[in-house]
Amino acid sequence: MKGEETVKEIIIPDDTLDVVGLYCPMPLALTMERIDEMKIGKILEVLLDDEEAVLDIPKWCKKDGHRFLRLEKEGDFYKLYIKKGGAYEYTSTTNRG
Q: How many domains does the chain have?
A: 1
pLDDT digits (tens, 9 = 90+) for 50-69: 999 999 999 999 999 999 99
What is the domain range of residue 23? 15-83
Task: Please indicate, yes or no, if residue 3 is contained in any of the structural domains.
Answer: no
Stated pTM of the model: 0.81
Q: Residue 58: CB partners within 8 Å, gap ≥ 6?
A: 68, 71, 80
Cα separation, 96 vs 83, in Å, equals 33
Q: How far is CA 38 from the centre of its chain?
A: 11
Q: Could you report how far apart the first and last alpha carbons of the chain are, in Å?
A: 63
- Please state which of the ranges 2-6, 55-59, 68-72 shows the lowest mean pLDDT: 2-6
Catalytic center residues: 24
Specify the CATH number for the domain of residue 32: 3.30.110.40
Measured from the Cβ of residue 60, the count of other Cβ atoms closer than 10 Å reads 16
